Amino acid sequence: MQTSKIRDLFLDYFSSKDHLIMPSFSLIPQNDPSLLLIGAGMAPLKPFFTGEKKPPHPRVATCQKCVRTPDIERVGHTGRHATFFEMLGNFSFGDYFKEGAIEWAWDLVLNGYRMPEDRLWVSIYHEDDEAFKIWNEMVGVPSGRIKRMGKEDNFWEIGLGPCGPCSEIYYDMGEEAGCGSPDCTVGCDCDRYLEIWNLVFTQFSREASGELVELEQKNIDTGAGLERLAMAMQGVYSFYETDQVKPLYKYFEEIAEPGRRDQIVPLRIVTEHSRGTTFLVADGVIPSNEGRGYVLRRLLRRAVRFGKLLGIEGDFMTDAASLVVDTMGSAYPELKERHDYIRQIIELEERKFQETLAQGMDILEGYIDKLKQEGERTLPGEWAFKLYDTYGFPLDLTAEILQEEGFAIDRESFEQSLRDQQTRARAASQSVSGTDETVRYRAAEPLSTVFTGYETIEQEAKLILALVDGETREEVRENEKVEVLLDQTPFYAEAGGQIGDTGWIEGPQGRIEVENTVFSPWGQIIHQGVVIEGALLKEEAVTARVDGGRRRAVCRSHTSTHILHRALRNNLGEHINQAGSLVAPDRLRFDFNHFSAITPDQLLAVEEEVNRMVLANIAVEASLTTLEEAKELGATAIFTEKYEDESVRMVSTGNYTRELCGGTHVSETGQIGLFKIVTEEGIGSGLRRIEAVAGMGAYRQTVEREKLIKGIAASLNTSESRLEQKFNEHLTEHKALQKTVQELKQRLASYEVKSLLSEVKEVEGVKVLSAKVSADSFESLRMVMDEVKNNLDSGVIVLGAVGDGKVIMVGAVTPDLVKRGIEAHKIIKEVARRVGGGGGGKPDLAQAGGKNTAALPEALDSVEPLVREQLKSGGIA
């Protein structure tokens, strides 16, 4: 049975059992800061399990795309572990329980998928006699086929809260798939007993006291790996051989160097990682050094490295992505929709990493030379680690290159470096614990806060929670920094790039100034601020008032952002997608993908288009609709938009642009007034950033410019209309003046030199010149010296000057006199001593400095006797 058929059959089966079929959620979790990526079918349904949200139906079934990075090291080494896979699941929110879940799972496996009964095994939690009974007595699984397993394997629990026993279905892949060990049975780590389906019975709640309390609303959460079902049904030992994955494996096998096509593990790794990278990019993840972006980067780079091991050249991951789109695009339309974009992002990251690898190769060659020189045969582990850590060289790759030249690696010290780094990383990640907020706002978790800020900016409300430093308070007083929750509020909490509202909350006896508004990890709206007057009590009636001027400015920025997005697409191409944004009252920032520089003309065209839309005064409307309908209308879904609600909020600016957006907007574009781009720049990775201003911000910017221009015109003593001409005149004049100054300087120097030459004296037939000149640096002093030397074919010259309160001196002796034993550095040293300094150089040229400026004339006078002395003795001792 084909993979797509297995998927359809699962969903059809549960649909016939009255389950609502929901499409796969994005890999990016919504409103769940505790999760990096969705790793199970139940993860995006969490609010329905906890009761925080009412599910659209008490029974739901999905086929969910999942990413599990903890399994990365197993990829390739087992045939059943992927970092990206699809999980089929049926869920009950307080509806059916163990009986229904077990009965249907067994029915589907036996009668739907027609798996041979003698291949199937089940496991249960060792204390779960209820499950045993259902398996054994109700559905008729022989007791010998039911394995009781411990807490480790068959009890699902994360921290406090809902938990429960689970029960798994295993498929025996046959002896030939196994490890051969006599102990090999269900639960063995090898590929023989394949866990295909896990049924979790969420039955208890783990209390803080450690006690297990039976839940009133019991839930069912099941997960069946689609790739694993396909393995079983297609009779293959790894998912790489199933119909959906095989084309990818084949592709890599074909482009690998012929001699390396038998390297199964690297081939599996590149195959597997190409799926995850494609899906992550499709869901809006962009390679980076942290969070989800890092997961993506790690998968992609790992694939490129293993590709190298296979001798594959070029942008092979980019083409692999297209193959993923081809094979999976009909089940996941987002792949087809974003095909070009996916290719662009992957190609860019792939090329960048190829360059890093090339740099690493140079380093490695350097290491090899060094080893050769020193006669060593083993590369120190620390060096191999540096290649691994900085240049992404896997140890195997380094080992292979070294081996070709007959070298080895000290693997032990490599492992040690790796361990050291892991320890450091662990310490670092603990110090930035992501659970801070979940602790700080724990008291908010059960509460509900309703947002009324689309309709109003002022709201009567009840203060339902007050926190000071994360502690619940009955009363908050003047000067305290507080965080408060209201049952309903017009304050917009920071989200989707739009910053949080500010304003005031007023009670009967006090007032809070709200400085920011944010979401709690569970989606409650939290007002952060200071009590500026009196006191406020919990349960008190209050009035919440948003700072209207600021909010209106934010709305102008936000609507401008939507128009800018559309205008960029119209002018640069439909590939433009938002990669990030900031919507603030005084400015807006818009990051997007584009792979070449934007010309000034293009930018101007974009700015003009936005302003034309502003002047057209188009109505901006928000409506609730379904995702399907929004897509049909051509709405731009920012990647992280959720699919989970039946309704999504769509903001339309006439027919010009439609986006799924939760933000606040102006009602007509005319309210934006004016839009100005301030800067446009590349920010790496094929991303560009525009910063712009709207409304009063834009107005103020033009006023500032105008002031600047007026100021310049005034100081040039001209009118604005003649400014450019006047400025050009000044520029020409300035250049002419510069030229004149230069000429005069030169004339002055030769003048000075001429008068200097008249001071040359003769000492026993040798021409000696020692004089004070005007120069403020060694450089200009040397220039004078050069000029003098040009005019004197033989002689001893010492020039001194006072610059910056210090004495500077240069001395020179022509070559004929050096031969006669006169040395410039010796003379200058003596002279410098007399001005309280020192110097040095060579026989033909030397320089010196000193502090005693008053002694300069006297010091220069000593040159003559020094020359005489040197001539006499044939040198100074």
How many angstroms separate the Cα of 671 from the Cα of each of 573, 622, 772, 852? 27, 16, 74, 73
Q: Shortest approach of ligand ATP to residue 151 CB, angstroms? A: 13
Query: Ramachandran region of residue 534, left (φ > 0), alpha (ψ -120 to 50) or beta?
Result: left
Q: Which residues pair with 498 in a beta bridge?
A: 495, 583
Binding mask 221-240 for ligand ATP (x = CB under 6 A): --xxx-xx------------
Closest CA to 497 of 435, 559, 419: 559
Cβ neighbour number for residue 749 with a 10 Å cutoff = 18
The CB-of-226 to ligand ATP minimum distance in angstroms stands at 8
Q: How many CB atoms lie within 10 A of CB 786?
A: 13
**Do the bridges between strand 20-22 and strand 59-67 make them parallel or antiparallel, or are there none, so unpaired?**
parallel
Query: What residue type is assigned to position 664 of the chain?
Result: T
Q: How far is the CB of 182 from ligand ATP (least distance, A)?
A: 22
320-349 mask for ligand ATP (x: CB under 6 A)? ------------------------------
Q: Which residue in 24, 90, 154, 198 binds ligand ATP (CB under 6 A)?
A: 198
Interface residue with ligand ATP among 195, 253, 680, 787 (CB under 6 A) is 195
Which of 747, 841, 818 minimizes the C-alpha distance to 787?
Answer: 747
Beta bridge partner(s), residue 527: 484, 517
Stretch that binds ligand ATP, among 7-15, 189-197, 246-254, 473-481 (CB under 6 A): 189-197
Q: How far is CA 230 from the centre of its chain?
A: 35
Rounded CA separation 228/232 (Å)? 6
665 contributes a contact to ligand ATP by CB under 6 A: no
Alpha carbon 252 to chain centroid distance? Answer: 29
| 87 binds ligand ATP per the rule CB under 6 A | yes
- CB nearer to ligand ATP: give 29 or 510: 29
807 binds ligand ATP (CB under 6 A): no
Cα-flanking dihedrals φ and ψ of residue 164, to 5°? Answer: 170, 170
Q: Tell me which long-range contacts 9-15 makes (C-beta under 8 A, separation of at least 24).
A: 9/108, 9/112, 9/113, 10/61, 10/63, 10/88, 10/108, 10/112, 10/224, 11/61, 11/63, 11/88, 13/104, 13/108, 13/112, 14/59, 14/61, 14/90, 14/104, 15/61
Q: How far is the CB of 122 from ligand ATP (least distance, A)?
A: 12
Residue 513 three-state SS:
strand
Q: Among residues 232 and 588, whose Cβ is nearest to ligand ATP?
A: 232
Of 190-198, 293-301, 355-363, 460-468, which segment contacts ligand ATP by CB under 6 A?
A: 190-198
- Of 25-33, 218-226, 299-307, 837-845, which part binds ligand ATP (CB under 6 A)? 218-226
Smallest distance, ligand ATP to C-beta of residue 187, A: 9
Paired with 214 in beta bridges are 204
Out of 197, 201, 332, 590, the only residue in the binding site for ligand ATP (CB under 6 A) is 197
How far apart are the C-alpha atoms of 700 and 698, rounded to whole Å? 5
Say whether residue 85 binds ligand ATP (CB under 6 A): yes
Measured distance CA(877)–CA(870) in Å, rounded: 9
CB of 80 to ligand ATP, least distance (A): 6
For residues 822-861, which are near ligand ATP according to CB under 6 A? Answer: none
Binding to ligand ATP by CB under 6 A, coded x per residue (else -) over 53-72, reads ---------------x--x-
The reply on whether position 609 binds ligand ATP by CB under 6 A is: no
Who contacts 686 (Cβ-Cβ below 8 Å, separation ≥6)?
Answer: 344, 345, 348, 593, 594, 595
- Choices 77-85, 267-275, 414-422, 661-669; region in contact with ligand ATP by CB under 6 A: 77-85
Stretch that binds ligand ATP, among 219-227, 280-288, 311-319, 354-362 (CB under 6 A): 219-227
Contact present, 271 and 626 (Cβ < 8 Å): no
Q: Which span sits near ligand ATP by CB under 6 A: 191-199, 659-667, 706-714, 743-751?
A: 191-199
Spatial distance between the Cα atoms of 800 and 832, rounded to a whole number of angstroms? 10
Report in angstroms how near the CB of residue 241 gets to ligand ATP at its nearest: 14
Q: Is 157 in the site for ligand ATP (CB under 6 A)?
A: no
* 278 sits near ligand ATP (criterion: CB under 6 A): no
| By the rule CB under 6 A, 269 interacts with ligand ATP | no
**Residue 503 binds ligand ATP, judged by CB under 6 A:** no
Options 46, 81, 556, 562; binder of ligand ATP; rule CB under 6 A: 81
- The residues of the shown chain that bind ligand ATP, judged by CB under 6 A, are 68, 71, 81-82, 85, 87, 195-198, 223-225, 227-228
